[in-house]
Amino acid sequence: AQTVTQSQPEMSVQEAETVTLSCTYDTSENNYYLFWYKQPPSRQMILVIRQEAYKQQNATENRFSVNFQKAAKSFSLKISDSQLGDTAMYFCAHTGGFKTIFGAGTRLFVKA
């Protein structure tokens, strides 16, 4: 069975600072994908970053990067130079066998 755990219900960060959101997962799949999604107040799901489990190199996307520790089943998201527009819910997700399971989410507040 797949599970995704986000242990930080809420976090806040000062504008321009760096913040790390945690995520751990459990899976029985050998091939899988990991994602971070952003959900702003509009509730539209926006892909932030993806990681293929077979790739050892951590994914980066501009100000967003991940720390993927496959053996530890950990997949944290680092947001650098935080901006006010980064305020949103962030969901960690695992896709294996074409089934996606989401974590409970972390609400991030970026303060001016």
Partner 1 sequence: GAVVSQHPSWVICKSGTSVKIECRSLDFQATTMFWYRQFPKQSLMLMATSNEGSKATYEQGVEKDKFLINHASLTLSTLTVTSAHPEDSSFYICSAGESGQGRYEQYFGPGTRLTVT
User: 66 — phi, psi (to 5°)?
Assistant: -120, 155
Q: Which of 3, 15, 81, 104 binds partner 1 (CB under 8 A)?
A: 104
Nearer residue to partner 1 within complex by CB, 11 or 101: 101
Measured from the CB atom, the residue of 54 and 83 that comes closer to partner 1 is 54
Measured CA to CA, the distance from residue 75 to residue 23 in angstroms comes to: 5
Between 21 and 40, how does the x/- string for binding to partner 1 read (CB under 8 A)?
------------x-x-----
What is the x/- site pattern for partner 1, positions 65-94, by CB under 8 A? --------------------------x---
Distance of closest approach, residue 47 Cβ to partner 1, in angstroms = 7
72: left (phi over 0), alpha (psi -120 to 50) or beta: alpha
Which 3 state secondary structure label does DSSP give 45? coil
- Angle among Cα 63, 66, 73 to the nearest 5 degrees reads 165
